[in-house]
Chain A
Amino acid sequence: MLDVAVELTPIELMTLEAYADTIIPGERRGAGDLAVAGAADGGGAVASGAVDLMVSVEGGLAGMLDTLVTGLNDHAVEYAGRAGVRLEPGVPPFVALPFPHRTALVQALTAAGHPEQDLWVSLAMFSVMAWDTGAAEHTVDALAAGHPGLIQMGFARPDPDGLWRFPDFSYRRALATPHPHTAATGDPA
């Protein structure tokens, strides 16, 4: 695993999980799972280690997570007011938003021209990378442990030595006519 740069409060953890789940949604981890909305089957960004990347020393985002969480929840309160959504008390406001509203808010925050676009896109990048690279762990280990994203994508398993090789890689036949002006070296004219 990666080195942890910051310990999150329960509110921070839930809020960041809810953000990651909006980017790559997944199934709930249990009946009381509020952060994960259960909008898709199979594990999503949260089950794939999104928060591990966010809090890591290596990632560089850890120092601003408290600000991001505060900002996200402030945006959620403002959004809920505008959209007429009632927020359940005792739950971080972004977590309290139903999934379609979480999605609409994240669309607005990551849209071109939003003054904080860079920050929310960065947080989204970490969420995507958690799911489709499993970057908190060695890829070989992640696959062996059934990493939700890599498995659902169909990422191939390595050879026993931990390296990938594809001996069958080609249809091994001409499938098109080359450009008539191709140079003798195989280059464009």
Chain B
Amino acid sequence: MTPTESTDVVVIGSGFGGSIPAYRLAAGGARVVILERGPWLTGADFDHDLKFGSASTRVFEFTMGDGMNVLGGNCVGGGSVVYFAAMPRAPRFTFERQGLLGRPLWPRSVTRDVLDPWYDMVAESLPITRSEWEDVTYSGGLFAAACAHAGRTANPVPTAVDPARCTNCNWMMSGCRFDAKRSLLLNYIPAAVSHGARVRPLHEVQHIAPTGDGGYRVHYNTVDEVDYRVVTGTGTIDARIVIVAAGAAATPVILQRSQEALGGIPEAVGRHFSGNGERLNTAVIDEAKARDVLGLDRGDGVAYEGYQVGKGPVCASWDRLDPDLPEFSRHSLEQLYFPPGFGTILAQVRDATGPSWFGVEKKEMLRRWRSWLTIFIMSEDGNEGVFGPPPETGNADRIAQQMLSRGALRYRPSEQTRAGWARADADIRDILERDGLARVMPWTDEVIGAYTVHPLASCRIGDDPATSALDDRHELRGHPGIFVTDGSAVPAGLTVNPAFTIAALAERAVPGIVQAALDRGVPVRYVDAPPRSAPEPRPTTPAVA
């Protein structure tokens, strides 16, 4: 145990929700410490390798739950390092959703119009660019052509990818070797560091306690850089402001574990979790049909065989993002690449005579992997997730050295959520099975239950204290000075990739956090300048308190 140190602001987690306020508060003059449970990797560390122990297992956490499994980041930069950088704004109607609660899920003060200037700020900072058809990969192009064939529209998706640097290697999910993906490692984080923020990797926060003078003491463990199960030390930091942004699968767990020390937490902490209504379908494309029906040719007589090529999702169907459709029947469909391993095990054989997800027929399906096309559904779920009691440390019990853990999240999809998935599955079949173009099946939900790469809403903003742990300024009800700015705060599924909205909400929260800091005697001002977009070398040795 090292002596308690003191700072103005402690930020827990370094993804979008953490790094954005960290930069702005540091730029405004506050002393900021960022505690990140994962390692700090940059450019060359992002090896193209599927071996256990490579970046592909170091930067992830796959937390298995009871009926819901969450794949998230576990590194400096958080979700921005592992995401596919698809950055659409949330459609206007999502801000009017009522879900299963039967009352507005979003605070009245947040609408698309309100959020648009904050979206603009993020778009300038990362930056995000509108994609053109020339940027759309074979798999995106195939999906677009299939949509057109079905009488549907399809859009290139705005992304935070620099097309001039991108090699279309499709390894981006375990970090970008070429610095083409504009993760937070290239903008907000180096800018925060240049303004004096200190980033501490391998620091896993356990709980928060009041100090008695209006501030908070943050308790953390340090963990081994290879075996994250091994605790190498403990420590504490006192701060006037605490920003919890550990991700929607961890933020509520830290607060739950803090319940006794804080003298209670809002009822809604760890409830109303949303998996963003996510679900995947995998199609196996008939190459001859892709050529004859869709007229596709890569220039060498091959119609497609392009699953491995590209940069994640680049093309989406937004036809069902229709404000006139009733809730639970709206969704977007996005073409997606998922690397082998996670991206194959749950895929099912269409009309299998034996087991659908393993065995002889599955092997035959895997042999056609180059002709796969994965379609990502983002729909309107019913916020059915609830976190059980927290584990001893961290957000989950770690099983493997890296990447694999078991947590306390329980999720039972409602009839409405299931019906929404079924409608989206049917929508995909309608597009892709026309004229024998492909054979499509949803991933099985019988093996591990539902899954998400975009956990949301486990510590929501809202107007109703009974169902939202945070007020519309992202402050934890009853605990002034504690803010939550990550995906936990997003009130509900968005029907699109949420990173841009999480980031915009974090930007929107910063002026309120600055005011709270001022009220607590921290000399800080609000700075609206974009971060410099240049990589900053990381320290050669992780700074340990």
Contact = CB atoms under 8 A, between A and B. Distances in A.
Contact of A168 (B131, B299, B319, B364): B299
A186 B156 contact: yes
Contacts of A145: none
Contact of A166 (B88, B167, B319, B406): B167
A22 B358 contact: yes
Interface string B239-269: 0000000000000000000000000000000
Interface string A152-189: 11111010001111111111111111111011011111
B359 A25 contact: yes
Contacts of A150: 340
A155 to B, nearest CB: 7
A34 interface: no
Interface stretch (A75-83, A87-95, A135-143): A135-143
A171 B34 CA distance: 43
Given A133-B340, A185-B130, A24 B363 contact: yes
Contacts of A53: 52
Nearest to B131: A186
A133 B50 contact: yes
A164 B370 contact: no
Interface in B287-312: 296, 298-299, 305-306, 308-310
Nearest to A56: B52
Contacts of B401: 57-60
Interface stretch (B4-12, B22-30, B138-146, B529-537): B138-146
Contact of A155 (B152, B308, B362, B364): B308
A59 B400 contact: yes
A98 B293 CA distance: 43
Given A135-B341, A153-B340, A179-B153, A166 B52 contact: no
A166 B369 contact: no
A155 B308 CA distance: 8
A57 B131 CA distance: 43
A131 B366 contact: yes
Contact of B158 (A155, A176, A186): A186
Given A22-B358, A165-B169, A169-B309, A176 B153 contact: yes
Nearest to B343: A132
A112 interface: yes
Nearest to A184: B130
A163 B400 contact: no
B363 A40 contact: yes
Contacts of B363: 24-25, 40, 42, 44, 131
B134 A170 contact: yes
B280 to A, nearest CB: 16
B438 interface: no
A5 B91 CA distance: 50
B88 A187 contact: yes
Interface in B325-371: 332, 339-341, 344-345, 354-355, 358-360, 362-364, 366-367, 369-370
A183 B446 contact: no
B147 interface: yes
Given A58-B57, A150-B340, 4 more contacts: A24-B362, A166-B310, A179-B155, A186-B155
14 contacts: A117-B447, A133-B341, A138-B54, A139-B48, A162-B48, A164-B170, A165-B167, A166-B309, A176-B155, A178-B154, A183-B89, A185-B89, A186-B158, A188-B89
Interface of B: 48-54, 57, 64, 88-92, 123, 130-131, 133-138, 141, 144-145, 147-148, 152-158, 167-171, 177, 296, 298-299, 305-306, 308-310, 315, 318-319, 321, 332, 339-341, 344-345, 354-355, 358-360, 362-364, 366-367, 369-370, 398-402, 404, 406, 446-448, 496
